[in-house]
Structure 1
Amino acid sequence: MAQLTQTAPKCSRSRRRGEVLERALYEATLAELAAVGYGKLTMEGIAARAHTGKAALYRRWASKHDLVHAALVFALPPVPEPRSGRSARDTLLTLFIAHRDVLAGKTAFPGLDTIHQLLHEPEMRIIFADAVVGPRLKITDSILQAAVEAGDIDPAMITPLTARIGPALINHHFLLTGAPPNRRELSLIVDTVIPPRQPASDDQ
């Protein structure tokens, strides 16, 4: 009996709880998603990969849809926020670098191969739009508005599609070359969204 009393604390300390367990479940979800795809993803498979029971998942999420949504939000890097004193062009470049790094698999977020899988699943496409695309388009809109207020861009040039141009060109670069755009290429994309000011003509 004394021996059981001594070993019990050791076992309880080895159990993962709270944020530690949730992080393990998120990591297992993303790894399983990359391995089998969303269609074959199961709560059982995630639990097995995380070395825990299904009950640990169902206590937190009602379905794999909810769990994958939470895992994607967890893995997604924070969106660079506009800062005072920083030009709209520099802020836009920072945002595009972050977008490039996500697609290139340089973050904990699934890379382009897994993202392609997600976009073919109606449920996951909605999640991706809500968790990834939507917030970044809002930030881009705010950057463009700042550029208008600073006189860097003609408001007549802004359309409902302008905020999508940069990410679309980055995605297109991946599809055409199979490689992420470098900083110079990202700067050219910024020039496409916010054309550089032309020097004033001396002609009157």
Structure 2
Amino acid sequence: MKKIGCLLIHGFGGSVYEVSPLAEYLEDKGCRVICPTLKGHTGRKKDLRGITYHDWLDSAEIALKELMQSHEQIIIIGFSMGGLIGINLASKYKVNELITINTPIYYWDFKRIYLNIVRDLQNKEYGNIRRYVKSSGNTTLSSLLHFKLLLTKTKPMIGNINCPVFVTQALDDDTVRKQSAYYIHDRAESKRKKLRFYDHGGHLILRSPSASKLMEDIWECIKGGQRK
């Protein structure tokens, strides 16, 4: 099996921390993995000012071109908004597979957010509350606008995807609703496509106890594609 090049793209307002467990896992399997930091995603709110979704696309595209120079087998893996970026790139370049993880078409499950806050208060753990506060403090109104512009631009492009697709989604994700996974899976024109849900894992599924199962499924999907 030829050495595989994987482009792994993090989410909106996040960092490579969100996806680094998968990067390490795939590197251990012999893949070369590039995880670009999307422009403005330094963890400092001020660095997102003046940044557009075009800058995020450019950040990922530069990394993809680097991989394509040295690898014939290219896998794009996008977490959350990174999946939207992956869809854009997979509709523009010939790649071997596109994998999306908790990628938003329909976002914010307010009922689950409420239940998470109640659970935090009952258990006096506050993990979800801290995450919500941190998330709101890491973004700007302009970056939120450009996230929505990217989503609007990307939705009609899903029908242009004809490479193999693996769509994954945590059912207890409070940021992305499960209908998003159905939307992406059903509209992709790929002859080989797969959809898998995970009962637990939340939005940051790669930092959850479900990460090992998700990563195993991703690797099996990649291996299966190489045998075709």
Whether the TM-score (by the shorter chain) exceeds 0.5 is no
The structure with the greater share of residues assigned to strand is: 2
Q: Which TM-score applies when normalising by structure 2?
A: 0.26
The structure with the greater share of residues assigned to helix is: 1
Rg: which structure is higher?
A: 1
Higher relative contact order (CA closer than 8 Å, sequence separation 6+)? 2
Q: Which TM-score applies when normalising by structure 1?
A: 0.28
